[in-house]
C-alpha cells in the first residue's frame, strides 16, 4: 500500500474514534454547577437595585460571549409572569485617588477575583423568585431559587415616551420628564473629567436643576470605552504598533501577532491608564520570547538566552514593589545582540495569583467582543453617582470606527458580524447597567456616517433589545449630519441632532435664537411624533473646535440664551452643550436654574402644546414659546441682545419698556399671568386678565435682554 494511503487511512480511523457530540436539545442537569445568592438584603424598593452573585464551577475562554456561556437570571414576578435577564461577568475594583507625578490620579486595582453577577430593578410589589440558568451547547444547569420582597419606594421608574404626548418624555408612573443638561463625554484618568470630578459636576448640575447628561462609553483609547482596542503598544490617533506576525505553528493556526523588538533597540509598553500596583507586594511578569543564537532578551534586570530546542521560550521576572509604590514604572524590554526578538503572551499578576493586571499588553485582544474591565467599573460608579444626584444618562455605547467599515452592505458577512457583536454588547449593557432608572437612553453611535445603510443594523439591534431588555429603555443614535431616516426609524424611540454655530453658516451663527429654532424645526418636521433632542450643541470655529469667542463670553451669554430658546422650541429638552470643561471653569451651571424652575411647571403629559416663533421685526421683541388654546409658556427676548452683539461687539442690552403682546386663539375665561426673571430666576410679577373673545393682550414687564412668561387658566 502506498505510504500516503496508509497515513490517510490511519487518520480516518483515528477521526472515527473521536467522540461525536450531540446536537440535540441541551439536557437539564440537576447538580451544583450554578449557585445563586443575593448580595445584601432580600428586600428592595420598587425600581431599586437588587444584586445577585452567581458562582459557576468552571471558567470560560471569553466570558463576554453568550455563544460560549449563556448565563441568565430567570425571575418569576408576584403576578406570575417570567422575566429573563442576562447576567454579566464582573471584575470588582478598589478605587482610590493617589498622587502620581505630582497630581492626584484615579487608582484602580482588582478587588478579588472576577465574578458572575446579575442586577435587577423590580417593577411590581410583592414576592419574586429567581433562579440562575447556565446554558451551553450540550446541557443546562439551574440553580436553587432565591426569594426576595419588593416594597414601595419613591422612585418614579424608567423614562419612557409619554403616552399622551409622544413628543415628550415621562416616567413609568406618568410623571413628565423634561431633559435639562449637557454632554460629559470624556471620562477617564488624565481627562478633565475623572471619576471624582464627574461626581462634582453631577452635584453642581443637580443643584441648579439640571437632570440629564450624555455620556460616551465609546471614546476609544483616550477615555472611557467599554468595547474598543485599548493597547499598551500604540494609540488610535497614531496607530503604528511594533507588531509582527507570529512565525510559529500558533501563528499559522491562529493568525496570531507578537511584539517585535529590533536588534539593539528597546521598547516600553504604555497603557492607556496608569497601571496600578499595591505597595510591598510580590509580582511576576511572564511571557514568551523567540530569538536566535545572536540575540537575547533583557527585561528589567534579567536577561534570557536563546534555546535552540524550542521556538518560543517562557520567561518570568519576579519583583516586589516598594512600601510606597502604587504604580508600575517604565517597563523596558531590550533586544541585545544582532537579531530582533519577538514577545507574546505578556502577563502581570501577583505572585500568589489573582486577576490579570496588564490586559492591555495582549496584542491579540480583539477590538470587538471583549470589554475593558476598568472602564466597566468606571461606568458603574458614574451610574451610581448619577443616581445619587438625580441625573439621568444617555449612554453612547458603540465605538463607531470599530463598526463603520463593516456596515457597507447588509447582505455581507461583515455586516452580520457587526450586528452580532453589537447585540452582544447591548446584552452586556442591559445586564450591568440596565437595572438603573437613571440609565435613560441607549445611544448606539456617536455621529455615525448617515450615508451608510444603517437601517437594517438599527432594526436588528432594536429587535434584540425588545427581547433582552425587560425595562424597555429608550433607543436612539446620532449621525454626523441631518439624518431623517434615523429620526423616522421605527426601532429608534428618540431623534437626536447635533449642531454647532460656526462662521461658515453665515449670518445665522451670530444669532443663537434663530439658529436653535431652525434646527429644532428641522428635526421636529421629520420626527413629529417622537421625542427629539439637540444632543450636541455649541459655539465652534469652522474646524469644529472650540470657538475663540468662547473665551470672551465669560458670562455664558450664548449658553444661557440657547437654553431658553431650545427649551421652548418644541424639542424634548434643552440643547446639550458639548464644551463641558468651559461650562465648569466658568461656573455656568447657574443658568440652568431659571430654565428648570420654569419648565417644571409645564404639564407636558396632558397638554398638546405647539411651538411657535415670532421674529419681532415689527414689535422689537422676539418670541419663542409653547401654547394651546388655554396655556402659553413664553420666552421673550430682545433681538439686539444676541450673543454676538453682547460679546463680540460689546453692546450692552437696552432696557425695553412699554412693549405689548397680543395672542389670539384663546378660549374665553380668566387667566393668570406670571412674569419671571429669565436671567436670575424667580417671579417678578403676577396678574390676572380676562379673555372675553379670543385674544389676550399683555403689557410686558420692563426687561433687559429677555424675560419669561407663563399664561395659565385660573380655577
What's the CATH code of the domain at 285?
2.60.120.200
pLDDT over threshold 70, residue 117 = yes
Overall number of domains in the chain = 2
Residue 161 DSSP SS3: strand
What's the whole-number average pLDDT of the chain? 93
Q: What is the mean pLDDT of residues 631-658?
A: 96
User: Are 299 and 275 contacting, i.e. CB atoms less than 8 angstroms apart?
Assistant: no
Does residue 312 form part of some domain?
yes
Does residue 399 form part of some domain?
no
Does residue 2 form part of some domain?
no
DSSP-assigned states of every residue in 617-681: TTTS-EEEEEE-SS-EEEEEE-GGG-HIIIIIS-PPPPEE-S-EEEE--PPSEEEEEEEE-TTT-
Q: What is the mean pLDDT of residues 400-414?
A: 96
Q: What tens digit of pLDDT does each residue of 468-478 get?
A: 999 999 999 99
> Which of 196, 187, 212, 573 has the alpha carbon at shortest distance from 385?
196
Q: What tens digit of pLDDT does each residue of 138-190 get?
A: 789 999 999 999 999 999 999 999 999 999 999 999 999 999 999 999 999 99
Give the pLDDT of residue 8: 38
Helix (H) or strand (E) run with residue 421 in it: helix 413-433
Give the pLDDT of residue 253: 67
Q: What pLDDT band is residue 31 in, cutting at 50, 70 and 90?
A: low
Q: What is the mean pLDDT of residues 568-586?
A: 97
Answer yes or no: do 33 and 151 share one domain. yes
Domain boundary among 136, 155, 174: 155
Q: What tens digit of pLDDT does each residue of 326-373 get?
A: 999 999 999 999 999 999 999 999 999 999 999 999 999 999 999 999
> Which of 33, 143, 132 has the alpha carbon at shortest distance from 88?
132
> In CATH, what number is assigned to the domain containing residue 106?
2.60.40.1930
Instruction: Please tell me which residue, 32 or 179, carries the higher pLDDT value.
Output: 179
Answer yes or no: do 33 and 129 share one domain. yes
> Which of 600, 581, 597 has the alpha carbon at shortest distance from 679?
597
pLDDT over threshold 80, residue 637 = yes
Q: Rounded distance, CA 406 to CA 193, Å? A: 32
Answer yes or no: do 142 and 247 share one domain. no
pLDDT over threshold 70, residue 1 = no
Answer yes or no: do 149 and 44 share one domain. yes
Give the pLDDT of residue 20: 34
pLDDT over threshold 90, residue 616 = no
Q: What pLDDT band is residue 32 in, cutting at 50, 70 and 90?
A: confident
- Percent of the chain topping pLDDT 90: 89
Q: What is the mean pLDDT of residues 477-497?
A: 97
Does residue 357 form part of some domain?
yes
Q: What is the mean pLDDT of residues 515-536?
A: 96
Answer yes or no: do 141 and 261 share one domain. no
Does residue 105 form part of some domain?
yes
Does residue 93 form part of some domain?
yes
Give the distance between the most distant pair of CA atoms in the chain.
Answer: 112
pLDDT over threshold 80, residue 36 = yes
Parent domain of 330: 243-361
Give the pLDDT of residue 585: 97
Domain boundary among 134, 155, 176: 155
Domain boundary among 155, 170, 204: 155
Answer yes or no: do 134 and 248 share one domain. no
Q: What angle do CA 681, 685, 691 make, to 5 degrees?
A: 125
Does residue 292 form part of some domain?
yes
Q: What is the mean pLDDT of residues 415-430?
A: 98
Instruction: Give 366's strand partners.
Output: none
Instruction: Please tell me which residue, 481 or 7, carries the higher pLDDT value.
Output: 481
Give the pLDDT of residue 33: 87
Sequence length of the chain is 715
Does residue 107 form part of some domain?
yes
Q: What pLDDT band is residue 4 in, cutting at 50, 70 and 90?
A: very low
Answer yes or no: do 247 and 343 share one domain. yes
Give the pLDDT of residue 436: 98
Q: What is the mean pLDDT of residues 701-705?
A: 96
Answer yes or no: do 247 and 345 share one domain. yes
CA atoms within 13 A on the CB side of 565: 28
Amino acid at each position: 500500500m502506498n505510504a500516503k494511503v496508509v497515513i490517510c487511512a490511519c487518520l480516518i480511523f483515528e477521526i472515527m474514534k473521536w467522540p461525536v457530540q450531540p446536537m440535540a436539545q441541551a439536557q437539564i442537569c440537576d447538580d451544583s454547577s450554578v449557585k445563586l445568592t443575593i448580595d445584601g438584603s432580600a428586600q428592595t424598593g420598587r425600581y431599586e437595585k437588587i444584586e445577585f452573585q452567581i458562582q459557576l464551577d468552571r471558567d470560560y475562554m471569553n466570558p463576554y460571549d453568550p455563544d460560549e456561556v449563556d448565563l441568565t437570571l430567570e425571575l418569576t414576578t408576584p403576578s406570575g409572569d417570567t422575566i429573563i435577564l442576562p447576567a454579566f461577568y464582573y471584575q470588582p475594583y478598589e478605587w482610590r485617588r493617589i498622587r502620581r507625578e505630582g497630581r492626584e490620579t484615579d487608582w484602580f486595582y482588582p478587588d478579588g477575583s472576577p465574578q458572575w453577577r446579575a442586577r435587577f430593578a423590580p417593577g411590581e410589589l410583592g414576592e419574586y423568585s429567581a433562579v440562575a440558568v447556565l446554558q451551553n451547547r450540550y446541557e443546562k444547569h439551574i440553580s436553587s431559587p432565591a426569594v426576595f420582597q419588593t416594597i414601595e419606594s419613591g422612585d418614579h421608574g424608567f423614562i419612557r415616551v409619554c403616552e399622551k404626548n409622544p413628543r415628550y418624555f415621562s416616567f413609568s408612573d406618568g410623571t413628565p420628564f423634561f431633559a435639562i443638561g449637557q454632554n460629559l463625554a470624556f471620562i477617564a484618568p488624565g481627562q478633565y473629567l475623572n471619576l471624582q470630578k464627574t461626581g462634582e459636576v453631577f452635584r453642581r448640575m443637580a443643584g441648579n436643576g439640571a437632570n440629564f447628561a450624555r455620556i460616551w462609553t465609546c471614546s476609544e483609547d483616550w477615555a472611557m470605552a467599554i468595547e474598543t482596542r485599548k493597547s499598551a503598544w500604540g494609540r488610535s490617533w497614531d496607530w503604528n504598533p511594533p507588531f509582527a506576525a507570529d512565525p510559529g505553528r500558533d501563528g499559522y493556526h491562529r493568525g496570531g501577532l507578537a511584539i517585535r523588538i529590533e536588534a539593539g533597540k528597546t521598547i516600553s509598553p504604555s497603557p492607556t491608564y496608569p497601571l496600578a500596583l499595591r505597595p510591598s507586594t510580590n509580582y511576576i511578569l511572564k511571557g514568551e520570547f523567540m530569538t536566535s543564537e545572536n540575540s537575547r532578551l533583557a527585561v528589567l534586570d534579567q536577561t534570557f538566552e536563546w534555546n535552540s530546542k524550542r521556538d518560543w521560550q517562557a520567561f518570568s521576572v519576579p519583583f516586589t514593589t516598594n512600601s510606597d509604590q502604587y504604580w508600575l514604572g517604565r517597563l523596558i524590554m531590550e533586544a541585545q545582540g544582532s537579531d530582533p526578538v519577538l514577545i507574546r503572551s505578556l502577563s502581570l499578576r501577583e505572585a500568589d495569583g489573582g486577576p490579570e493586571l496588564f490586559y492591555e499588553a495582549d496584542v491579540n485582544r480583539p477590538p470587538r467582543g471583549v470589554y475593558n474591565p476598568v472602564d466597566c467599573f468606571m461606568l458603574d460608579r458614574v451610574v451610581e453617582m448619577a443616581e445619587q444626584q438625580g441625573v439621568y444618562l444617555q449612554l453612547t455605547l458603540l465605538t463607531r470606527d470599530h463598526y463603520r467599515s463593516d456596515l457597507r452592505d447588509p447582505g455581507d458577512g461583515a455586516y452580520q458580524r457587526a450586528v452580532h457583536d453589537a447585540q452582544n454588547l447591548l446584552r452586556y449593557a442591559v445586564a450591568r447597567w440596565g437595572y438603573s432608572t437613571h440609565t435613560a437612553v441607549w445611544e448606539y453611535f456617536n455621529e455615525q456616517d448617515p450615508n451608510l445603510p444603517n437601517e437594517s443594523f438599527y432594526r436588528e439591534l432594536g429587535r434584540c433589545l425588545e427581547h433582552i431588555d425587560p425595562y424597555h429603555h429608550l433607543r436612539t443614535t446620532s449621525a454626523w449630519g441631518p439624518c431623517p431616516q434615523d429620526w423616522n426609524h421605527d426601532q429608534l424611540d428618540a431623534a437626536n441632532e447635533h449642531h454647532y454655530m460656526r462662521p461658515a453658516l453665515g449670518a445665522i451663527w451670530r444669532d443663537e435664537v434663530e439658529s436653535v429654532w431652525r434646527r429644532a424645526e428641522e428635526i421636529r418636521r421629520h420626527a413629529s411624533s417622537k421625542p427629539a433632542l439637540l444632543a450636541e450643541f455649541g459655539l465652534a470655529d469652522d474646524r469644529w473646535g472650540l470657538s475663540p469667542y468662547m473665551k470672551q463670553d465669560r458670562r455664558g451669554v450664548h449658553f444661557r440664551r440657547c437654553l431658553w430658546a431650545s427649551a421652548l422650541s418644541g424639542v424634548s429638552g434643552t440643547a446639550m452643550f458639548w464644551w463641558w470643561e468651559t461650562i465648569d471653569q466658568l461656573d455656568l451651571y447657574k443658568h440652568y436654574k431659571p430654565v428648570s424652575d420654569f419648565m417644571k411647571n409645564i404639564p407636558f403629559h396632558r397638554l398638546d402644546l405647539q411651538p411657535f416663533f415670532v421674529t419681532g421685526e415689527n414689535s422689537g421683541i422676539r418670541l419663542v414659546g409653547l401654547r394651546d388654546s388655554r396655556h402659553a409658556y413664553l420666552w421673550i427676548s430682545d433681538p439686539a441682545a444676541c450673543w454676538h452683539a453682547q460679546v463680540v461687539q460689546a453692546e450692552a442690552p437696552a432696557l425695553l419698556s412699554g412693549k405689548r403682546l397680543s395672542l389670539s386663539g384663546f378660549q374665553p375665561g380668566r387667566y393668570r399671568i406670571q412674569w419671571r426673571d429669565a436671567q436670575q430666576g424667580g417671579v417678578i410679577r403676577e396678574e390676572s386678565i380676562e379673555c372675553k373673545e379670543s385674544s389676550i393682550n399683555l403689557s410686558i414687564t420692563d426687561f433687559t435682554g429677555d424675560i419669561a412668561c407663563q399664561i395659565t387658566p385660573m380655577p
